[in-house]
């Protein structure tokens, strides 16, 4: 059927070992034979069989991305799709491919075993929502390369992870609002059981402190992430004595709730209330006024996760790395007072 290394060897008048060497571009080869073999390979339209290589090397040229089917919202969809694209881009450059393995949480142990034992993956990328000590120990015991997407802290054991620099995002949001003349800044976010919300809060606090801005306990509101809770929270804030004149929201949905509250109370955005949202999706450019957002580069997060994993694959004893991706303020209407 397809042409194999043996036929190339014969046609080029060399041994299969030599052909193998040019495939893997081994350094110890004369330029002359290398060129000759390459030429024949091209002519005969040779493609190495990744299965045979895999069998020889004891590894498939694949890495897996575990996806958490149960939590489509935390890693919400367009978000994850972008991450995946980033990963795919990076691994493809190395001739590897990305396989998707979905898990419902309870079965993750099994699935990971399957990926390691049967499918012989080279490495695996795990969202932090699926990572836990038990799973990671299984991986570590086997010296199996993995990286976590989303900050993961688990005692003293080092783990490679990549995350968005949410603290920086929180700081940027505050700094941007201050620059635009707002000084009484509230924060409405999702559950504090999520590390990224804690990080954003931390950034928020730091920035306020650094700029010597007031900070009120009731300006920090934790919600379940729904539009309705954001709405109620904002309404309460606007009715309170120490009413803020700006607010930072954890995502577009929360912002939507805030906008509804403002509208009802006839508080004008951005004139009376500045608004900065995390995320650019799905509403940022759709609503009026459009939302100034803390943009999160999830594509890059995927790329970096993949590169980190590739490094571990190349050298399983390489040190674990923790990487943060910078956020950026995307300025739109909701935070700029028209003059």
Partner DNA sequence: TTGAAAGCGCTAACAG
Partner DNA sequence: CTGTTAGCGCTTTCAA
* Residue of 33, 232, 285, 321 that binds DNA (CB under 7 A): 33
92 near a second copy, rule: CB under 8 A: yes
Q: Residues binding a second copy: what is the number (CB under 8 A)? A: 49
5 near DNA, rule: CB under 7 A: yes
| Smallest separation, CB 15 to DNA (Å) | 3
20 near DNA, rule: CB under 7 A: yes
247 near a second copy, rule: CB under 8 A: no
* Residue of 185, 253, 259, 310 that binds a second copy (CB under 8 A): 253
Torsion of CA 188, 189, 195, 196, to 10 degrees: -90
CA atoms within 13 A on the CB side of 62: 19
| Smallest separation, CB 138 to a second copy (Å) | 14
Give all strands (DSSP E) within the chain, no chain letters: 62-68, 97-103, 123-127, 146-149, 161-164, 185-189, 220-222, 246-249, 274-278, 292-295, 322-325, 328-330
What is the rounded CA–CA span in Å between residue 186 and residue 167? 16
139-153 core/surface letters (b: 16 or more CB in 10 A; e: else): beeeebbbbbbbbbe
In the bound state with DNA, the residue whose beta carbon lies nearer, of 14 and 331, is 14
What is the rounded CA–CA span in Å between residue 288 and residue 124? 42
55 near DNA, rule: CB under 7 A: yes
Residue 308's binding partner among a second copy, DNA, none (Cβ under 5 to 8 angstroms by kind) is none
Between residue 170 and residue 229, which ones bind a second copy under the rule CB under 8 A?
227
CA angle in degrees (0–180, nearest 5) for 163-336-177 = 50
* Secondary structure of residue 253 in the 3-state scheme: helix
Instruction: Mark the segment that binds a second copy (CB under 8 A) among 62-70, 152-160, 164-172, 195-203.
Output: 62-70
- Measuring CA to CA, which residue among 175, 132, 177 is closest to residue 150? 132
58 near DNA, rule: CB under 7 A: yes
Applying CB under 8 A, the residues found at the interface with a second copy are 1-2, 47-52, 54-55, 58-62, 64, 67, 69, 72, 76-78, 80-82, 84-85, 88-89, 92, 97-102, 117-120, 227, 253, 256, 260, 281-283, 286, 288
Applying CB under 7 A, the residues found at the interface with DNA are 1-2, 4-6, 13-21, 23-24, 28-30, 32-34, 48-49, 52-53, 55-58
């Amino acid at each position: 059927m397809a042409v194999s290394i043996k036929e190339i060897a014969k046609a080029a008048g060399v041994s299969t070992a030599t052909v193998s060497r040019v495939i893997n571009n081994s350094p110890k080869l004369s330029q002359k034979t290398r060129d000759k073999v390459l030429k024949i390979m091209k002519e005969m339209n040779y493609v190495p069989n990744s299965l045979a290589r895999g069998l020889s090397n004891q590894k498939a040229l694949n890495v897996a991305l575990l996806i958490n089917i149960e939590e489509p919202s935390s890693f919400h969809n367009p978000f994850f799709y972008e991450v995946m694209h980033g990963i795919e881009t990076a691994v493809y450059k190395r001739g590897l491919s990305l396989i998707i393995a979905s898990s419902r949480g309870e079965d993750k142990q099994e699935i990971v075993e399957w990926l390691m034992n049967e499918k012989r993956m080279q490495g695996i990328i795990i969202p932090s929502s699926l990572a836990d000590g038990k799973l990671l120990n299984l991986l570590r015991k086997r010296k199996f390369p993995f990286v976590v997407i989303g900050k993961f802290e688990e005692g003293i054991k080092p783990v490679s992870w990549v995350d968005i620099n949410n603290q920086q995002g929180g700081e940027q949001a505050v700094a941007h609002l201050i620059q635009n003349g707002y000084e009484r800044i509230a924060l409405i976010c999702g559950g504090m059981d999520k590390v990224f919300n804690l990080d954003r809060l931390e950034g928020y606090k730091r920035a306020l402190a650094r700029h010597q801005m007031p900070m009120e306990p009731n300006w920090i509101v934790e919600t379940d992430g729904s539009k309705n809770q954001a709405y109620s929270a904002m309404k309460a804030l606007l009715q309170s004595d120490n009413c803020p004149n700006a607010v930072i929201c954890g995502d577009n949905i929360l912002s939507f709730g805030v906008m509804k509250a403002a509208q009802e109370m006839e508080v004008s955005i951005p004139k009376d209330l500045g608004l900065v949202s995390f995320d650019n999706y799905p509403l940022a450019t759709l609503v009026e006024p459009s939302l100034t957002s803390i943009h999160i580069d999830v594509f890059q997060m995927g790329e970096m996760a993949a590169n980190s994993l590739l490094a571990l694959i190349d050298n399983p004893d390489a040190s674990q790395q923790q990487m943060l991706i910078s956020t950026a303020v995307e300025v739109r209407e909701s935070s700029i007072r028209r003059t």
